[in-house]
Structure 1
Amino acid sequence: MAMAQNSSCRKRPNILITGTSSTRKKTTTAYLAIVTELRHINVGDFAKEENLTNDWDDIFDCYYINEDLKML
């Protein structure tokens, strides 16, 4: 079945790269953004800038991201 053409459909992919601390995700994704000409967004930095964090996880050494905080 063919997909209907919709002008609001995404034209470029989202690529999500995850991993534990200190695995060079920022370096890898920054390089990937250059070679693919895609925009690089660091989700952790974005969440802090938008005040979407509400607690710290000592085990994973990162903030919990709570997208519902944007609604408050």
Structure 2
Amino acid sequence: MAQNSSRRKKPNILITGTPGTGKTTTATFLAVVTKLRHINVGDFANEENLTNDWDDTFDCYYINEDLF
């Protein structure tokens, strides 16, 4: 089987869960230990104007998945 040089060499690791359970803390630690890049999807969506309204119950933005 021939090697495809454009193939991803590092994995995507997705950490999901309820707000306030330590996802960012865990992902930040994991990124340091594995030397992988940590991207906070909520921050990314907010910076790229991919959110709708603020959810006071969960203290976060609604991400508009249709804009991705």
Query: Which bracket does the TM-score occupy, shorter chain normalised?
Result: 0.7 to 0.9
Superposition deviation, residue 65 in structure 1 = 1.9
State how 1:22-41 maps to structure 2 within 5 Å: 22-41=20-39
How many residues end up aligned between the 2 structures? 68
Counterpart secondary structure, 1:54 = strand
- Normalised by the size of structure 2, how large is the TM-score? 0.80
Cα shift readout 1:4-60 (whole Å, capped 9, x = no counterpart): 421111000000000101101111110000000000000000000000112344565
Gaps (5+ residues) in structure 2? none
Aligned mates of 1:8, 1:60 — CA distance in 2: 39
State how 1:1-72 maps to structure 2 within 5 Å: 2=1, 4-57=2-55, 60-69=58-67
Gaps (5+ residues) in structure 1? none
The percentage of counterpart residues that share the same residue type is 78
Report the more deviating stretch, 57-66 or 44-53: 57-66
Counterpart secondary structure, 1:63 = strand
Q: Could you say if the C-alpha distance between residues 5 and 66 of structure 1 is closer, same or farther in structure 2, counting changes exceeding 3 Å?
A: farther
